[in-house]
Amino acid sequence: MLSSRKPLPSQARFIDPFQPEHIRRLVGRFGSPLLILDCQRVRSQWRRLARALPGVALHYALKPLPHPALVATILQEGGGLDLASTGEVQLARRLGAPPARCIHTHPIKRPVDIENALLFGVRTFVADNPDEILKFADFAGRARLLLRVAFRSATAVVDLSRKFGCEPADVPDLARLAQRLGVEVRGLSFHAGSQAADATRHVEAVQECARLMAAARRAQLGRFDMLDIGGGFPIDYLQPVPPIGRFCAPLRRALAQLPRGVQVIAEPGRYVCGPAAIAVAQVVGQAQREGSRWYYLDDGLYGSYSGQMFDHVRYRIESLRPGTRRFPSVLAGPTCDSFDVIAEGIELPRLNNGDLVVGHAMGAYTSACATNFNFIPRATVVTVNAHPRDTGSVTPWPAAPRPPRLP
Ligand SMILES: *Cc1c(COP(=O)(O)O)cnc(C)c1O
């Protein structure tokens, strides 16, 4: 078990940075726009998922928000990391992550990425095709593989089996190839699709993988005693989802059917960081256009709201101005591109320039995929509750430029 079961430290020592008074205080101190990341919410998401999946070793997938304070919080919780690039390996190393708790799950890597991860001490990698397995011939004895299997998802918001994963029927041939090269195959992995509507695909994938692993063990193609069930655990956006314990119930039942001795790991991303951050933007200008009030913000589709494009998510957005009378309004981003519109027909009170607008559940796939198009800087990430009594601090973000090969 990677996740610890320590009781939460006394709540009184932590603040709730999503309260309007703290949002205003943080904007006063750090300016706007902000992404406010609450490490205490990271901890509770982590512990909720660990309770929902007992016996499963959780590895936080850095991709949705590779922020050092967030990664450090996971490490304090005793969690593992799912790394997918040399930059992410470098961050894990800088934070002193124990390499034994890290896996590398990008199915396509440059040899230098494999070397960098090995140099750091990662042992477990993912491959899904013969070309990639051949790359490991040079590292036989030092790396072990999980074969990623594709299970297409029609119901997940983001289907992660279109671009990656082998056909289930290809598993034996891939395992035989690895065996010929002297590369150990430990088991299988899959990603059932991000923001899954329910656990049906996870369950089907576990059952199919169990059959494939049993067949591979019978054919003496390797140990096949590790199953990586990926991520995909959903969170509330405008559409509420079941609580994580209920979402995972069928998955728990499927995992309970696995033979004793199969080690199960998971790679949650969105579930851990999504609800732990809010985006705060300021109204910088306004105009009346075709019957609607347009408010121009200092953050938009090329910034924190990039998730509306890349991640296909709509966020719950509200203003901090009290007011019962609401008017259909438009929220637009700061760039000169007319495409940069966050929301139309949103009901808001009459706002003044300088008023703050808050987007909820904006930790995952937001800041991480933001750009500085038009030379407009991304939102500053402020972390709060990284330790008790931490009322807000800024770490240089994104990380410094990365060398291709670690020194
Ligand atoms: C993106 C990704 C994850 C995280 O997925 P979520 O849906 O955010 O939980 C996990 N594993 C891999 C390989 C990924 O690419």
Distance between CA 157 and CA 154 in Å, rounded?
A: 8
405 located within any domain: no
The percent of residues above 90 in pLDDT, for the chain, comes to 89
And the tokens for 166? 């082998």
2 located within any domain: no
Domain end: 273, 305, 324, which one? 273
Which pLDDT tens digit goes with each residue over 151-200? 976 776 777 678 999 999 999 999 999 999 999 999 999 999 999 999 99
Note whether 196 and 232 are same-domain residues.
yes
Note whether 30 and 59 are same-domain residues.
no
Note whether 80 and 146 are same-domain residues.
yes
Distance between CA 352 and CA 215 in Å, rounded?
A: 66
Residues written for the chain: 407
14 located within any domain: no
Note whether 241 and 94 are same-domain residues.
yes
Q: Is the per-residue pLDDT at 114 higher than 70?
A: yes
251 located within any domain: yes
343 located within any domain: yes
Distance between CA 213 and CA 220 in Å, rounded?
A: 10
Residue-level pLDDT at 3: 47
Domain end: 233, 256, 273, which one? 273
Distance between CA 303 and CA 333 in Å, rounded?
A: 8
Identify the H or E element spanning 380: strand 380-384
Which pLDDT tens digit goes with each residue over 302-340? 999 999 999 999 999 999 998 889 999 999 999 999 999
Beta carbons of 282 and 351 less than 8 angstroms apart? no
Note whether 226 and 146 are same-domain residues.
yes
Note whether 288 and 367 are same-domain residues.
yes
Beta carbons of 234 and 272 less than 8 angstroms apart? no
Report the amino acid identity of residue 376: I
Q: Is the per-residue pLDDT at 402 higher than 70?
A: no
Domain that holds residue 363: 20-38+275-397
230 Cα: distance to centroid of ligand 1 (angstroms): 6
Distance between CA 190 and CA 251 in Å, rounded?
A: 14
241 located within any domain: yes
126 Cα: distance to centroid of ligand 1 (angstroms): 13
54 Cα: distance to centroid of ligand 1 (angstroms): 20
Q: 194: Cβ below 6 Å to ligand 1? A: yes
Kindly report the protein residue whose alpha carbon is nearest to atom 13 of ligand 1: 105
Closest to 227 in 3D by CA, of 153, 269, 171, 182: 171
Atom of ligand 1 nearest to the CA of 193: 7
**Exposed e or buried b per residue across 338-358, where buried means at least 16 C-beta atoms within 10 angstroms of its C-beta:** eebbbbeebebbebeeebbbb
Note whether 168 and 154 are same-domain residues.
yes
Domain end: 221, 255, 273, which one? 273
5 located within any domain: no
Q: 191: Cβ below 6 Å to ligand 1? A: yes
Q: 296: Cβ below 6 Å to ligand 1? A: no
And the tokens for 112? 């230098």
Q: Identify which of 63, 106, 312 to mutate to test ligand 1's pocket (most ligand atoms within 8 A of the CB).
A: 63
306 located within any domain: yes
Note whether 31 and 167 are same-domain residues.
no
Which pLDDT tens digit goes with each residue over 131-163? 999 999 999 999 999 999 999 767 767 776 789
Note whether 313 and 281 are same-domain residues.
yes
Average per-residue pLDDT for the chain: 94
Residue-level pLDDT at 401: 57
0.75 surpassed by pTM: yes
And the tokens for 220? 């003496």
* DSSP H helices in 185-273: 200-218, 244-256, 270-273
HSE at residue 72, side-chain half, CA atoms within 13 A, is 15
234 Cα: distance to centroid of ligand 1 (angstroms): 11
What CATH code is carried by the domain that includes residue 207? 3.20.20.10
Note whether 203 and 293 are same-domain residues.
no
What CATH code is carried by the domain that includes residue 290? 2.40.37.10
Indicate the number of domains in the chain: 2
First vs last C-alpha separation in the chain: 32
Cα 181 off chain centre by? 33
